[in-house]
């Protein structure tokens, strides 16, 4: 697709005004900047290169490379860069380049979210599905829309690839500008805890913030559940305050079934707070008459704006809560029950989320992204009532990620499945067998599922479908929509849906 944005040239001095403590070194007043970049490989003539210290690399080591590629100016952190003699391009020094990245990007693109009705969805699980439900509701209301999340981005009707749930600030603001260029009036994005903690979403002006749930994940990054909770809470505190200061009426939509909701509700300066819940009778939005199947869900949602007849074209008990969250968005906007219902009915199944695999077999196969203890529990509990035979699960845990969840996921698989096959997910730089060993520490016990180990993921899926009989359900968990597997420093093509289909037909 076309970029959707006009070519821009912004004075460096104007950008410097957006960052507290910024100082220009050299003749930078007349310098025009044509883009903001944090990756020296993306720098071209006219770019402003921001030298950010990342997890693996320090951008200050690539300043010379950026200048050689045509950077018009460079942003460096005080005390981290310096050299003898004059520098060939103007320098901007700032107290923290990581924190300067977002305000520079927002200023360059002229604060695009101020002109969008923006919804942000945060939570351990359910972000992708809820975001796409919100997008479908916005489309039913007549909006041209955009989305950003785990599956990539959409700008109007065009899909764009992405490698992060919430991109770095320059990429994020560029996408918002593209949305505006394509005529978008609203957008819905997944807001990851990493992005909130690292300031990627700084300058994003949200109209609605949605909280799905808080369960264990990312402790390798955050350290504790309290820090993880507080990071997600920035959407309802810091961002709510910023939105209101900019003249927006921020609405917090909170899952009353999760105890973190009360924590956020007590701290948010939101103009309005709406609650939803499957198990919370006092919630503002709640379901009645729920019926579930592998490929559909039916219920009526009671809301402050009236009853919404919900008809979803995909299954999963957990999607009842996701739909309620999306209804909260529609309620915050003041949309009619008819528009909300139409949007949910039109929402397509989300790839890799409780996704049925049909290859002519006489048993059920479901592929799901469940990669956390809560996610695995939800998908297994959703599959059990739909299963007349045995419940078989294939799962693993990612390498170089939170190790404490491994035995927990093993215990859940043992307790909730009849057969559990432990395999590799994305082992990255860890030894696959060592990861499986840690998972198996949670699977000791005389009762529970029959447990097998097979580090080769294809072989594990083959084992599961070969063992399945009529009435059984095979759940392949962990990777969902992903079409790759990371083995050491190598990334190979691997798609659970493809592999399951191939092994069924073999």
Give domain status of residue 189, yes or no. Answer: yes
Sign of the four-CA dihedral 16, 17, 19, 21:
positive
Q: For 120-171, give the secondary structure using H, E and C.
A: EEECCCCHHHHHHHHHHHHHHCCCCEEEEECCEEEECCEEECCCCCCCCHHH
- Whether 51 and 199 share a structural domain: no
Which pLDDT value is given to residue 171? Answer: 96
* Pairing assessment for the beta strands 364-368 and 473-477 based on DSSP bridges: parallel
Give domain status of residue 192, yes or no. Answer: yes
Number of H helices, E strands in the chain: 17, 26
Which pLDDT value is given to residue 6? Answer: 66
CATH number of 248's domain: 3.40.1190.10
- Domain extent, residue 134, equals 112-346
Q: Are 426 and 399 in contact (CB under 8 A)?
A: yes
- Whether 152 and 290 share a structural domain: yes
- Whether 89 and 237 share a structural domain: no
Q: List all residues 6 or more positions away from 359 whose beta carbon is below 8 Å from its beta carbon.
A: 365, 500, 501, 504, 505
- Whether 256 and 323 share a structural domain: yes
Q: What is the pLDDT along the chain (506 residues), one digit of tens a residue?
A: 345 566 899 999 999 999 999 999 887 778 999 999 999 999 999 999 999 987 778 999 999 999 999 999 999 999 888 765 678 999 999 999 999 999 999 999 999 999 999 999 999 999 999 999 999 999 999 999 999 999 999 999 899 988 788 999 999 999 999 999 999 999 999 999 989 999 999 999 999 999 999 986 666 666 788 898 999 999 999 999 999 999 999 999 999 999 999 999 999 999 999 999 999 999 999 999 999 999 999 999 999 999 999 999 999 999 999 999 999 999 999 999 999 999 999 999 999 999 999 999 999 999 999 999 989 999 999 999 999 999 999 999 999 988 999 999 999 999 999 999 999 999 999 999 999 999 999 998 768 899 999 999 999 999 999 999 999 999 999 999 999 999 999 999 999 999 999 999 98
CATH number of 389's domain: 3.90.190.20
Which pLDDT value is given to residue 325? Answer: 99
Give domain status of residue 107, yes or no. Answer: no
- Whether 78 and 176 share a structural domain: no
- Whether 116 and 229 share a structural domain: yes
Q: List all residues 6 or more positions away from 181 whose beta carbon is below 8 Å from its beta carbon.
A: 3, 4, 5, 6
- Domain boundary residue, one of 81, 102, 123: 102
- Domain boundary residue, one of 44, 77, 102: 102
- Whether 378 and 270 share a structural domain: no
**CA 5 from chain center: how many Å?**
25
Give domain status of residue 5, yes or no. Answer: no
- Whether 199 and 278 share a structural domain: yes
Interaxial angle between packed helices 457-467 and 496-505, expressed in degrees from 0 to 180 and rounded to the nearest 10: 50
Q: What separation, in Å, do the N-terminal and C-terminal C-alpha atoms of the chain show?
A: 39
Give domain status of residue 4, yes or no. Answer: no
Which pLDDT value is given to residue 225? Answer: 83
Main-chain phi, psi angles of 317, to 5 degrees: -50, -40
Give domain status of residue 3, yes or no. Answer: no
- Whether 193 and 329 share a structural domain: yes
Give domain status of residue 400, yes or no. Answer: yes
- Whether 428 and 476 share a structural domain: yes
CATH number of 84's domain: 3.40.1390.10
- Domain boundary residue, one of 80, 102, 124: 102
CA distances from 183 to 4, 54, 179, 187, 490 (A): 9, 34, 6, 11, 40
- Whether 283 and 313 share a structural domain: yes
- Whether 118 and 87 share a structural domain: no
Instruction: State how many domains the chain has.
Output: 3
Give domain status of residue 97, yes or no. Answer: yes
């Amino acid at each position: 697709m076309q970029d959707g944005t006009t070519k821009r040239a912004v004075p460096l001095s104007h950008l410097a005004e957006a960052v507290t403590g910024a100082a220009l070194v050299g003749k930078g007043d007349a310098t025009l900047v044509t883009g903001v970049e944090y990756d020296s490989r993306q720098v071209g003539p006219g770019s402003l290169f921001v030298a950010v210290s990342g997890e693996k690399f320090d951008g200050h080591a690539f300043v010379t490379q950026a200048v050689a590629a045509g950077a018009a100016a460079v942003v460096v952190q005080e005390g981290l860069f310096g050299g003898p003699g004059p520098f060939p391009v103007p320098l901007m020094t700032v107290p923290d380049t990581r924190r300067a990245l977002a305000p520079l990007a927002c200023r360059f693109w002229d604060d695009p979210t101020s002109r969008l009705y923006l919804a942000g969805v945060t939570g351990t699980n359910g972000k992708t599905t809820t975001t796409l439900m919100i997008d479908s509701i916005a489309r039913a209301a007549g909006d041209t829309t955009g989305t950003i999340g785990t599956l990539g981005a959409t700008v109007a009707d065009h899909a764009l690839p992405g490698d992060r749930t919430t991109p770095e600030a320059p990429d994020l603001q560029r996408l918002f500008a593209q949305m505006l260029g394509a005529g978008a009036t609203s957008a819905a994005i997944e807001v990851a805890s990493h992005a909130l903690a690292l300031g990627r979403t700084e300058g994003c002006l949200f109209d609605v913030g949605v909280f799905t749930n808080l369960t264990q994940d990312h402790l390798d990054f955050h350290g504790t559940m309290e820090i993880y909770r507080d990071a997600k809470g920035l959407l309802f505190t810091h961002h709510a305050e910023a939105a209101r200061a900019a003249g927006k009426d921020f609405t917090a939509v909170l899952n009353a079934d999760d105890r973190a909701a009360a924590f956020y509700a007590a701290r948010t300066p939101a103009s309005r707070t709406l609650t939803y819940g499957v198990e919370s009778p006092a919630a503002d939005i709640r379901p009645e008459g729920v019926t579930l199947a592998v490929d559909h869900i039916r219920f009526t949602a009671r809301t402050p704006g009236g009853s919404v007849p919900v008809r979803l074209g995909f299954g999963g008990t957990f999607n009842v809560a996701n739909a309620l969250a999306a209804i909260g968005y529609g309620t915050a906007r003041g949309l009619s029950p008819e528009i909300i219902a139409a949007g949910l009915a039109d929402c397509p199944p989300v790839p890799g989320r409780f996704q049925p695999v049909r290859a002519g077999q006489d048993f059920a196969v479901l592929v799901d992204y469940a990669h956390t203890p809560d996610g695995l529990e939800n998908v297994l509990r959703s599959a059990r009532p739909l299963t007349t035979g045995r419940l078989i699960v294939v799962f693993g845990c990612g390498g170089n990620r939170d190790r404490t969840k491994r035995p927990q996921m093993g215990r859940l698989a043992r307790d909730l499945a009849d057969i559990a096959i432990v395999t590799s997910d994305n082992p990255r730089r860890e030894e696959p067998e060592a990861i499986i060993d840690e998972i198996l520490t949670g699977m000791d016990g005389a009762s529970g599922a029959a447990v097998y180990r097979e580090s080769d993921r294809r072989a594990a899926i083959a084992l599961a479908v070969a063992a399945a009989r009529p009435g059984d359900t095979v759940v392949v968990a962990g990777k969902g929509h992903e079409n790759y597997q990371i083995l050491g420093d190598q990334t190979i093509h691997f798609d659970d849906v493809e592999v399951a289909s191939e092994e069924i037909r073999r």
